[in-house]
Amino acid sequence: MNLVGVGIGLIVIGLGLGIGNIGKSALDAMARQPEMASKIQSAMLIAAGMVEGAGLFAIIMAFLTK
Protein backbone atom coordinates (compact mmCIF):
# COMPACT_ATOMS: atom_id res chain seq x y z
CA MET A 1 0.00 0.00 0.00
CA ASN A 2 2.85 2.36 0.84
CA LEU A 3 4.58 1.59 -2.42
CA VAL A 4 1.36 2.32 -4.26
CA GLY A 5 1.30 5.68 -2.55
CA VAL A 6 4.87 6.39 -3.64
CA GLY A 7 3.96 5.31 -7.14
CA ILE A 8 0.97 7.63 -7.25
CA GLY A 9 3.17 10.43 -5.95
CA LEU A 10 5.69 9.82 -8.72
CA ILE A 11 2.95 9.73 -11.31
CA VAL A 12 1.56 13.02 -10.06
CA ILE A 13 5.04 14.60 -10.16
CA GLY A 14 5.41 13.54 -13.78
CA LEU A 15 1.89 14.66 -14.62
CA GLY A 16 2.39 18.00 -12.95
CA LEU A 17 5.66 18.61 -14.79
CA GLY A 18 4.12 17.58 -18.10
CA ILE A 19 0.95 19.63 -17.83
CA GLY A 20 2.89 22.53 -16.34
CA ASN A 21 5.19 22.50 -19.34
CA ILE A 22 2.26 22.41 -21.72
CA GLY A 23 0.60 25.30 -19.91
CA LYS A 24 3.83 27.31 -19.88
CA SER A 25 4.46 26.83 -23.58
CA ALA A 26 0.84 27.61 -24.38
CA LEU A 27 0.93 30.82 -22.35
CA ASP A 28 4.21 31.80 -24.02
CA ALA A 29 2.69 31.18 -27.42
CA MET A 30 -0.48 33.07 -26.52
CA ALA A 31 1.52 36.03 -25.27
CA ARG A 32 3.50 36.05 -28.49
CA GLN A 33 0.48 35.60 -30.76
CA PRO A 34 -2.67 36.72 -28.95
CA GLU A 35 -4.69 36.45 -32.13
CA MET A 36 -4.09 32.69 -32.18
CA ALA A 37 -5.09 32.29 -28.51
CA SER A 38 -8.23 30.23 -29.10
CA LYS A 39 -6.48 27.74 -31.37
CA ILE A 40 -3.54 27.45 -29.02
CA GLN A 41 -5.92 26.93 -26.13
CA SER A 42 -7.70 24.01 -27.73
CA ALA A 43 -4.40 22.49 -28.81
CA MET A 44 -3.13 22.94 -25.25
CA LEU A 45 -6.18 21.24 -23.79
CA ILE A 46 -5.84 18.35 -26.21
CA ALA A 47 -2.17 17.86 -25.34
CA ALA A 48 -2.89 18.21 -21.63
CA GLY A 49 -5.72 15.74 -22.03
CA MET A 50 -3.39 13.19 -23.60
CA VAL A 51 -0.79 13.58 -20.86
CA GLU A 52 -3.44 13.47 -18.18
CA GLY A 53 -4.97 10.41 -19.79
CA ALA A 54 -1.67 8.57 -19.57
CA GLY A 55 -1.23 9.73 -15.98
CA LEU A 56 -4.71 8.68 -14.95
CA PHE A 57 -4.18 5.35 -16.63
CA ALA A 58 -1.07 4.88 -14.49
CA ILE A 59 -2.89 5.91 -11.32
CA ILE A 60 -5.69 3.45 -12.00
CA MET A 61 -3.13 0.73 -12.68
CA ALA A 62 -1.45 1.61 -9.40
CA PHE A 63 -4.76 1.17 -7.60
CA LEU A 64 -5.62 -2.05 -9.40
CA THR A 65 -2.29 -3.79 -8.79
CA LYS A 66 -2.03 -3.06 -5.09
Partner 1 sequence: MDLLSPEPGLVIWTGLTFLILLYLLGKFAWRPLLSAIKEREDSIKNAIESANKANEELKQLEATRARIQAETRQERDAVLREAQSLKNSIVEEARAAAKQEAEKIVVEARAQIEKEKADAMLEMRQQVAKLSVQIAGKILVENLASDDKQNELVEKYLNESNFN
Partner 2 sequence: MVSKLKQIALVILMLLGLSCATHLRAENAEMLKAEEPEQLDMTELIFHHVLDSYQWDIVGWETESGEQKLSIPLPVIAYYDGHFICKLSSSFAEGKRIEEDGLVWYMGVPEGRVVEKLLLDTPSEKGIRPTLDISVTRNVASMWFSVIVILLIFVSAARAYRKSLVPHGAVGAVEAVVLFVKDIADEQIGEKSAKYVPYMLSLFFFIWINNIIGLIPVFPFSTNLSGNIAFTATLAIGTFILTNVNASKHYWVHNFTVPGVPFVMKFILVPIEIVTMFIRPFTLLVRLFANVTGGHIIILSLISMIFIIGSLLMSLPSILLTLIIFVLEIIFGALQAYIFTLLSALYIGLAVNEEH
Judged by the rule CB under 8 A, the positions of this chain that interact with partner 1 are 60, 63-64
Q: What is the Cα gyration radius of the chain?
A: 15
In the complex with partner 2, which residue's Cβ is closer, 2 or 38? 38
**Shortest Cβ 44–partner 1 spacing (Å):** 28
**Is residue 60 involved in binding partner 2 (CB under 8 A)?**
yes
Number of other CB atoms surrounding residue 18 within 10 Å? 17
Subset of residues 27 to 56 that bind partner 2, contact rule: CB under 8 A: 42, 45-46, 49-50, 52-54, 56
What single letter denotes the amino acid at residue 8?
A: I
**Torsion angle of alpha carbons 44, 46, 52, 58, nearest 10°?**
-140
